[in-house]
Amino acid sequence: MNQEYCTVSQINQWIKLMFDNSAYLKKIYLKGEISNFKHHTSGHLYFTLKDDESRISAIMFRSAASSLGFVPEDGMNVLVTGRVSVYPAGGNYQIYVDKMEQDGLGNLYIEFEKLKKKLALEGLFDPAHKKVIPKYPTKIGIVTASTGAAIKDILSTIERRYPICETILFPSLVQGASASKDVAEKIKIAQNYDLDLLIVGRGGGSIEDLWAFNEEIVARAIFESKVPVISAVGHEVDVTIADFVADKRAPTPTGAAEMAVPTIDEVKKTFHTIELKLASFLEIKLKEASLELKKLEESYVLSHPMIIYENQIQKLDGLEENLHQALKQYLVQRKMMLDHIESSYVLQNPQTLYEQKEKDVKNYQVLLLKNINRIFSLKYHDFQLMVQTLKLVNPLNILEKGYSVVKKDGHIIKDSHVLKVKDELNIDFSKGSISVEVKEIIK
């Protein structure tokens, strides 16, 4: 019986096809320990992932490996994401790694993404809040450790490029549990030093080493800084929350210093350019002024200056003539008024004015007397009416008709019911009064 035999390549391709079509193997999450690590000159990473009982070959191509934030090495525990497939030429299966991180750092990455999302929603990363980095700073503050490569690189770079710039170090912890609080505090203190720019950062390290710059307290301190901030944390591949909030991110501390200050040669070149522009501007202005001066020198007025003098003399003569005419007219008017007053009847006959006034006074006297008599007569008539009215309401008049007034204790008695036998009463008559005693009350 004839049998069809397949080749090794065919079986390996068939097995690869089975692997590639498996939904479970297209994306898996795997953890293990690195061994047999090799960083190929091509940039690809070859290694083995193992646990206590098994192992699997792994490859990470250069495109994926370029984003690693650490250097893998044998014995390191890692978390990887990738797909499992077969390498047909060798007939062995392996994991093709897309992402890799150190085991134990997963929670840190989760916290990083959570805080990043929160602060982004609040607008702390918004370009509208970014302050402009000054081109020629005179005083720069630096928040970093007082020892280490970072501060040395920053200071040496500034000194080499722009030695006229003053630098102030605000020494801070940059690693450990208290680092974030200390960095935030130093950023706030730096606000009181009249700085043009502030560099905040440290040298490279693991994600745990750089974690202080992923804390919310540092992010808010940078955002609230009135001084423009350049973040300089770790190496170029290291990205922290501070980088997103800062007004400018530098790939390294040295890069931050280069961003912060120009070189002396650049300044000299700028000044030379300004000098050339200024010289050109002055030359143009001098030419314009020269032309204007020449124009004035050739003007008819300056060539014949007496014209201005003659015109002014003629103008002065006109004003003088107008003044004489105005004075003459004024004097004529005043003379006419004086003649009118001198020729008036009153001045010609002053006795007549006196006699007229005397006559007016006598008329006023007669009129006043008449008014006084009239007012007196009216007031006397009113008085007589008031007297008659008072007589009508005077109770004494009633007594003159034979009536009398009975009183007890000074009170007039109107009703006999208020009296008792032997009460003493006073009776007032029109003329005189008597005292009596009640003997009987008749109801």
Residues with Cβ < 8 Å from 405, sequence gap 6 or more? 395, 399, 412, 427, 428
pLDDT for the residue numbered 300: 67
Please give the average per-residue pLDDT across 237-257, as a whole number. 92
What's the CATH class of domain 8-104? mainly beta
Task: Tell me if domain 8-104 and domain 124-262 are identical in fold.
Answer: no
pLDDT for the residue numbered 256: 94
pLDDT for the residue numbered 106: 60
Nearest to 140 by CA among 163, 115, 123, 117: 163
Residues with Cβ < 8 Å from 99, sequence gap 6 or more? 64, 80, 81, 82
The pair of three-digit structure tokens given for residue 420, joined into one six-digit string: 């008792």
Segment of 124-138, 307-321, 388-402 carrying the highest mean pLDDT: 124-138
Output helix, strand, coil percentages for the chain, rounded to the nearest 5: 50, 20, 30
In the predicted structure, residue 385 carries a pLDDT above the cut 70: yes
Q: How many CB atoms lie within 10 A of CB 319?
A: 10
In the predicted structure, residue 362 carries a pLDDT above the cut 60: yes
Q: Half-sphere exposure (CA, 13 Å, Cβ side) for 31? A: 9
In the predicted structure, residue 74 carries a pLDDT above the cut 60: yes
Angle at 10 between CA 4 and CA 13, to 5 degrees: 150
Using 50, 70 and 90 to split pLDDT, how confident is the model at 303?
Answer: low
pLDDT for the residue numbered 416: 81
Q: Which residue has the tokens 């501060």?
A: 151
Residues with Cβ < 8 Å from 2, sequence gap 6 or more? none
The one-letter amino acid code at 416 reads: S
The rounded percent of the chain whose pLDDT value lies above 70 is 94
In the predicted structure, residue 191 carries a pLDDT above the cut 90: yes
pLDDT for the residue numbered 81: 93
Q: Which residue has the tokens 């034979």?
A: 402
In the predicted structure, residue 1 carries a pLDDT above the cut 60: no
Q: How far apart are CA 26 and CA 94, in angstroms?
A: 12
Q: Return phi, psi of residue 137, to 5°.
A: -70, 150
| Burial zone of 151 (CB within 10 Å; 0-12 exposed, 13-18 middle, 19+ buried) | buried
Nearest to 142 by CA among 205, 194, 209, 187: 187
Average pLDDT, the chain: 87
Q: Which ranges constitute the DSSP H helices of 147-191? A: 149-161, 179-190
Higher pLDDT, 185 or 109: 185
pLDDT for the residue numbered 48: 93
pLDDT for the residue numbered 122: 94
Q: Are 43 and 68 in contact (CB under 8 A)?
A: no
Digit-coded pLDDT (tens) for 147-159: 988 999 999 999 9
In the predicted structure, residue 412 carries a pLDDT above the cut 60: yes
pLDDT for the residue numbered 347: 67
pLDDT for the residue numbered 320: 86
The pair of three-digit structure tokens given for residue 327, joined into one six-digit string: 């004075």
Please give the average per-residue pLDDT across 227-239, as a whole number. 90
Please give the average per-residue pLDDT across 176-194, as a whole number. 94
CATH number given to 124-262: 3.40.50.280
Beta bridge partners of 221: none
In the predicted structure, residue 408 carries a pLDDT above the cut 60: yes
pLDDT for the residue numbered 243: 95
In the predicted structure, residue 105 carries a pLDDT above the cut 80: no
Q: How far apart are CA 412 and CA 428, in angstroms?
A: 10
Q: Which residue has the tokens 């014949």?
A: 304
Digit-coded pLDDT (tens) for 32-51: 988 899 999 888 999 999 98
In the predicted structure, residue 395 carries a pLDDT above the cut 80: no
Residues with Cβ < 8 Å from 36, sequence gap 6 or more? 46, 47, 48, 74
Q: How far apart are CA 75 and CA 33, in angstroms?
A: 6
The one-letter amino acid code at 368 reads: L
Q: Are 18 and 90 in contact (CB under 8 A)?
A: no
In the predicted structure, residue 60 carries a pLDDT above the cut 70: yes
Digit-coded pLDDT (tens) for 197-212: 999 999 988 778 899 9
Using 50, 70 and 90 to split pLDDT, how confident is the model at 162?
Answer: very high
The pair of three-digit structure tokens given for residue 51, joined into one six-digit string: 């646990």
The pair of three-digit structure tokens given for residue 382, joined into one six-digit string: 């009113």
Please give the average per-residue pLDDT across 349-365, as a whole number. 82
Using 50, 70 and 90 to split pLDDT, how confident is the model at 390?
Answer: confident
Nearest to 187 by CA among 154, 162, 219, 165: 219
Round the CA-based radius of gyration of the chain to a whole number and report it: 61
Secondary structure of residue 356 in the 3-state scheme: helix
pLDDT for the residue numbered 346: 64
Q: Which of 26-30, 144-148, 290-294, 302-306 has the lowest mean pLDDT?
A: 302-306
Residues with Cβ < 8 Å from 41, sequence gap 6 or more? none
The pair of three-digit structure tokens given for residue 330, joined into one six-digit string: 């004024």
Higher pLDDT, 49 or 22: 49
Q: How far apart are CA 145 and CA 134, in angstroms?
A: 24
Beta bridge partners of 428: 405, 433
Q: How far apart are CA 196 and CA 135, in angstroms?
A: 10
Domain edges within the chain: 8-104, 124-262, 399-437
